[in-house]
Amino acid sequence: MTKQSTAMMAMPAATNHNGNRLHGKVALITGGARGMGASFARAMVAQGAHVMITDVLDDAGNKLASSLGSNAAYRRLDVTRRDDWKAAVEDTVRVFGKLNVLVNNAGVVNFAPIDRNDEAMWDQTLSVDLTGAYNGIKASLTAMKQAAPSSIINISSTAGLRGYRSLTAYSAAKFGLRGLTKSVALDLASAKIRCNSVHPGATDTPMLAGHEDAKKQVPMQRVGKPDEIAQLVVFLASDESSFSTGSEFVADGGELAGLAPGQ
């Protein structure tokens, strides 16, 4: 093998930030005003999707939607409120004509060991991170069946695949979201609706603030970028992943592979 051919094989493929991989897709993203959710919205619009951005951060959500042009809109959605969900789905169909991609991304995290994790922390985390996704799936079913093939993408975590100290409620919710994903995938396969979970490792978002040492547990010795997770979401939203359902997609810099030298 020549040096030139070796170099060509080693060169990473360029990411296509403008294209039509999601042409004909209409997505609703929860927790979409900032962090990973905002990256999902930008990446999906760049690939031709129409996106309803939802959140409880109205200023940030409206600003993001305005920056993305006519292919994006924003509305307020508290994922714990089922009436909010009904209205959000109705608005998405009214504005964009249909709904065939649901990204359950909204989440909260409370860091506390079990002996200091009170009932309020538990209830809040489970209601947003797990029941919020259930509410969204239930509210979206009719629209997604009508617009099938459709895709549900649940944003879990590496905490849905292994335990972490001081993340009692968060780990329980993310493990639960993984199980919900599998059951929903089985229930809806015949309706041409796929359901998969994404499991990011430590990622540079507001949720990671105050935990800058998180990269120490990552073999690649860095945290992930929201745009890197967004590429997985684009893949799962697209017809490129048409034979994938009920599966976990991990982006964690090798964290779950085991202990790396220096860890």
Q: Which residues contact 172 (CB under 8 A, 6 or more apart)?
A: 125, 126, 130
Taking the C-alpha atoms of residue 171 and residue 115, their distance in angstroms, rounded to an integer, is 15
Spatial distance between the Cα atoms of 194 and 148, rounded to a whole number of angstroms: 9
- Is 74 one of the catalytic residues? no
Angle between helices 168-188 and 132-146 (to 10 degrees): 20
Closest CA to 137 of 152, 125, 124, 126: 152
Q: Contact 171/159 with Cβ under 8 angstroms?
A: yes
CA-to-CA separations, 17 to 42, 142, 227, in angstroms, rounded: 9, 31, 10
Best CA proximity match to 40, nearest among 200, 263, 233: 233
The secondary structure of 146-165, three-state, reads: HCCCEEEEEECCHHHCCCCC
Identified catalytic residue from 74, 134, 164, 170 = 170
Catalytically annotated residues: 170
